[in-house]
Amino acid sequence: MTEETNNTTNEQPKVKQPPVLFDKTQAILEKLAAQLGGPLIAYWNNPMGSVCQNDVVALYELLERLLPQDTVYLFIKSNGGNGQSSLRLVNLLRQYCNKLVALVPLECASAATMIALGANEILMGPMAYLTAVDTSLTHSLSPIDRDNDRVSVSLDELTRVIRLWEKQEDHEKENPYQSLFQYVHPLVIGAVDRAESLSIMLCKELLAYHIADEKVADQISSTLNSKYPSHNYPILMEEARRIGLKADPMPAEVNTLLLELNELYSEMGQRATTDFDQIHSHSNEILNIWEAAGIQILYKQDKDWFYRMEERRWITLNDNSAWRRLEMVDGQTVEGILHIA
């Protein structure tokens, strides 16, 4: 075998990168702003992304460029995340606009529903849904699943276990928590109980931006936190109205453009995995995207992965994940790192 053949054989594959479709998404945002008659901010999460505290800094970068407006339209597509971040995001948005309108063409779940609660009006497309906001959390003492990861624990699930226990006529006289503690640490149960109180409080604070009647806000908050048997129960437009939210159908043209925008973001959010061998790989994935006219801020996960045989799981190495900012300057796209600690 020649030296040239040897070098070819040992070459590492080129690391794959997800596409960044800034020019195309900007064109759709321009059309949407014309249709809506006001500025639009887009917020999109990959299924692996979530509402988080760093989103607040990313949104601030957009709003500083947008400047205060009478009405701001917010496109939301997310499976949820941190509820306290939702309150901070709405509080920040409210400092830059008098009226906030949420545009929901698809899923707007959990903490994303909380963001929508802070809007004066929610426009929902034919496929749109909100969800319950009952709190679940992943604690450092949470149970471990088969992949050796901590699992999320919901207060509603714990309450239902206790309720089923108490319905059994032949159950033992002992406290049901004594058996439950074998699987869920008591500190986790306490933390989840506290988190539910926090969730109700967050909902009330968000609704207070546009609902002056405390009884109405209490009713909506309690319903979203305790009425539904599933955290992911889809709350459609008619149900949202029955709860007391101002939900209206989205104009068809706006819905069509938002679905096109979602398609572009979904293409950007595809996972680009490069396998070097059976135990080494590299992944690039865009998880969170914020965008307004002339600017896009995204969080890109950029990691090496190593499969640890003895633990039967992948661990990360050389994590270069970061927030990135793309701006249109003099007709040219300029990209840089947005440093968020």
Residue type at position 46:
N
pLDDT of residue 1: 47
pLDDT of residue 278: 82
Asked whether 62 and 181 are in contact (CB, 8 A), the reply is no
Of 142 and 19, the one with more pLDDT: 19
Residue ranges covered by each domain of the chain: 3-131+234-338, 138-192
* Answer CATH for 3-131+234-338 from 3.10.20, 3.30.420, 1.10.357, 3.90.226: 3.90.226
Query: Percent of the chain scored above 90 by pLDDT?
Result: 47
Average pLDDT over residues 17-27: 90
> Using 50, 70 and 90 to split pLDDT, how confident is the model at 330?
confident
Residue 2 has pLDDT above 60, yes or no: no
Counting Cα atoms < 13 Å in the Cβ hemisphere of 171 gives 16
72-117 per-position pLDDT tens digit: 999 999 998 888 899 999 999 999 999 999 999 999 998 999 999 9
* Residue 107, strand partner residues: 129
> Using 50, 70 and 90 to split pLDDT, how confident is the model at 191?
low
Residue 63 has pLDDT above 50, yes or no: yes
Neighbours of 240 (CB within 10 A): 23
Average pLDDT over residues 253-257: 97
CA torsion sign for 26, 32, 36, 42 is negative
Residue 251 has pLDDT above 90, yes or no: yes
pLDDT of residue 243: 93
116-131 per-position pLDDT tens digit: 999 999 999 999 999 9
pLDDT-wise least confident of 6-15, 33-42, 52-61, 178-187: 6-15
Average pLDDT over residues 19-40: 94
Residue 174 has pLDDT above 80, yes or no: no
* Residue 99, strand partner residues: 71
pLDDT of residue 90: 96
In eight-state DSSP terms, residue 127 is T
Average pLDDT over residues 272-278: 76
Q: What is the mean pLDDT of the chain?
A: 84
Residue 137 has pLDDT above 70, yes or no: no
146-171 per-position pLDDT tens digit: 656 676 666 666 666 776 776 665 55
Nearest partner of 109 among 231, 5, 278, judged by Cα: 231
Of 288 and 153, the one with more pLDDT: 288
Of 128 and 321, the one with more pLDDT: 128
> Using 50, 70 and 90 to split pLDDT, how confident is the model at 8?
very low
The residue with tokens 């960044």 is 20
